[in-house]
Amino acid sequence: MTLSLNTAYIGLGSNLSEPITQVQNAIKAIEKIPHSQVTQVSSLYLSKPMGPQDQDDYINAVLALETPLTPLELLDALQTIENKAGRVRKDNRWGARILDLDIILFSNEVINSERLTIPHYGMCEREFVLLPLAEISPDLVLPNGESVKLLSQNIANNAMVKLG
């Protein structure tokens, strides 16, 4: 029996406890999700925090994952990885964090539920999502018809730095 695969794009971010190591470990953990395969990983980027500026800069990346999981099953798997890394969910939405894993896109689906919004609600305003996404999938078109390449060309990079 062949499993039907969906392509999910996942944003990764960290600014605590050796952020580069946190993101690299998260990529390794995502590679271990059963029946799923990481097909592309962007470079790592150093970016300014989105919320309060009294926190360290972030390390960000985006990866593409082929998976038979449903969006909510994938969300559960990613939250398990976050929790194992020591993520503590706080009321402070844009505060510092050990690890943040967000489903940016899931095939061409549009989901607005209590637990999950796809496409990710802030992706078009976030250089740390758009630029790594355009790096690995420049010809991608969002469910609303917008081009990732065009969006990435029109966003300010806010002094974001591509690492090695």
Half-sphere exposure (Cβ direction) of 138: Cα atoms closer than 13 Å:
3
Amino acid letter, 24: Q
For 94, other C-beta atoms within 10 Å of its C-beta total 10
* Catalytic pick among 54, 57, 87, 93: 87
Rg (CA), the chain: 15
* Catalytic pick among 56, 76, 91, 97: 97
DSSP assignment of 40-74, as one string? Answer: EEPPEEEE--SS-SSSPPEEEEEEEEEESS-HHHH
Is 97 in the active site?
yes
Is 139 in the active site?
no
User: Is residue 125 classed as helix, strand or coil in its secondary structure?
Assistant: helix
* Catalytic pick among 102, 115, 126, 139: 102
CA distance 53 to 67: 36
* Catalytic pick among 56, 76, 93, 100: 100
Residues carrying an active site annotation: 87, 97, 100, 102
